[in-house]
A = this chain, B = another copy of it.
Amino acid sequence: MTTAPATFLADLLPEDQYSTAASDRADHARDWGTRPEEAVDPDVVVWPESTADVSAVLAAATDHRVPVTPFAAATGIEGNAVPAHGGISLDLTRMDSVLEVRPDDLQIDVQPGVLGSAVNEALERYGLFFPPLPTSGDIATIGGMIATNASGKQTVKYGKVGDWVLELEAVLADGTVIEPGTRAAKTSSGYNLRDLLVGSEGTLAVVTRATLALAGRPQQQRAGRVVFDSFADAAAAASDLVRSGVDVAALELIDSLSATMANAYVGGDLPEKPMAFLEFHADHGIDEEIDFCRTVLSAYDPLDVEFGDESTQADLWAARRELADATRAYYPDLESVAAGDVAVPVSRYPEMIERIHALSDARDLPIPCFGHAGDGNVHFDVFADPDDDAEWARAIETYETIVREALAKDGTATGEHGIGRGKRKFMIDEHGEGGVRAMRAIKDALDPHGILNPGKVLPDPEPGPTATDDSG
């Protein structure tokens, strides 16, 4: 038996910083991807207000062998931030300050609970921005983005969140505070603990501060939308744009099923055809870049090509922007078995999509595809009737087939959502027994009692702390 966490928390924190109320516990049991039957309530929710709070809670949790799951906006979709084994939900949303902007160094220091949009608001007066924000940047926190190494539509030009993290403050399982990374533009000093923590989903440490690198806002910005007759053309064009070095700041693709869904949702009159959505950033010469883009596109006989300025981007991009909601709304009786997030080398992107569409036909399941084509990142949903056990099982098998085919094409099981609970089954396929063993050795070295977010990232068997320790 472990100690009930609330008993030792009372010695560490004032009463308004933790709660065992059923409503608070239930609020911390689900993220966007959690199905009701999967939800596991934490035993207690803790709201740290400082690095010292986090350190004290983790040290006590290690002493008492209590699982701790870092939590913030709960916009993840792989169960990344919700408990698999009860214990403490460590809610970091009170640590949501912008600590310092250093415009001369193009740097900002923030706490983990700050929203992505709040970072850009703080930067506006300096003419700076944080480029790798995911599409969910308005509602997701920087800490969560670091935990999953998130990325977004501008990653094709600017890279991932992890590429813009210079220095972290993080608390290890035993309460030790470390500051991996540096505020210098580069370093070759010691092991890169910073990039090891980025994407580790709170299983190795809890991030309590981040120094992020910034970029100047581009002086020119334009957007575009291209309609293709076939997805093969659209995918080949996207791959060619990247290969040709067209300097796109976003290159998104949706298939015709996604276009149909978006039309239904936004009441649009777009052709129900595959479409590419483009964005360009530059300080000068943006027209030459768009001309170059048109030249590359012309080889693929687009049905329609439209470019606009910043003021018309919202219109041009409407179908792409509303797509996540549109897909959820389109089939009221069906559900997506899981949110697909594979990425493959960009030359394999056309065949990847073709294979998904072939599986959709063969298994008689709707599978809309969309996502960040410029990165070879495909989002897809396999829709099925949750009350039809056979169909549901077929959909899950189809989803898994798609992920394994992405791995066979030198790809990854997750381009930006992380592993969480949902994708642990693909870890050995992707990283090999040896790679997973090395990851587990690192986990055991930094968190010997397995208190940090157990049941995530690494595949089973990974006994939670209660299975190996009876102390407390």
Contact = CB atoms under 8 A, between A and B. Distances in A.
Interface residues of A, number: 95
Interface in A433-464: 434-439, 441-446, 457-458
A416 B432 CA distance: 31
Contact of A438 (B148, B178, B188, B415): B178
Contacts of A178: 431-432, 434-435, 438
A437 B176 contact: yes
A376 B434 contact: no
A146 to B, nearest CB: 11
B176 A438 contact: yes
A199 B204 contact: no
A136 to B, nearest CB: 14
A154 interface: no
Query: A345, A346, A414, A418 — which one has the most chain B CB atoms within 10 A of its CB?
Result: A345
A135 B419 CA distance: 39
Interface stretch (A35-43, A84-92, A97-105, A382-390): A97-105
A457 B190 contact: yes
A427 B186 contact: no
Contacts of A182: 343, 410-412, 430
Given A192-B195, A442-B191, A177 B415 contact: no
A153 interface: no
Given A104-B243, A283-B245, A285-B288, A186 B438 contact: no
A172 interface: yes
Given A189-B423, A243-B106, A417-B188, A431 B346 contact: no
A152 B414 CA distance: 32
Interface in A176-202: 176-180, 182-193, 195-196, 198-200
A355 interface: no
A34 interface: no
A347 interface: yes
A195 B419 CA distance: 18
Nearest to A187: B412
Given A107-B345, A432-B178, A434-B177, A411 B196 contact: no
A155 interface: yes
A253 interface: no
Nearest to A416: B188
A375 interface: yes
A377 interface: yes
A375 B183 CA distance: 11
Interface string A112-138: 000000000000000000000000000
A176 to B, nearest CB: 4
A192 B184 contact: no
Contact of A445 (B347, B426, B436, B441): B441
B185 A457 contact: no
14 contacts: A104-B239, A105-B346, A176-B437, A178-B431, A186-B377, A186-B412, A187-B343, A187-B412, A189-B430, A190-B431, A191-B204, A191-B442, A192-B195, A215-B245
Given A185-B377, A190-B431, 20 more contacts: A103-B243, A151-B188, A178-B435, A179-B431, A182-B343, A184-B415, A185-B346, A189-B418, A190-B427, A191-B439, A192-B195, A193-B438, A195-B196, A196-B196, A196-B442, A283-B289, A438-B446, A441-B445, A442-B442, A442-B446
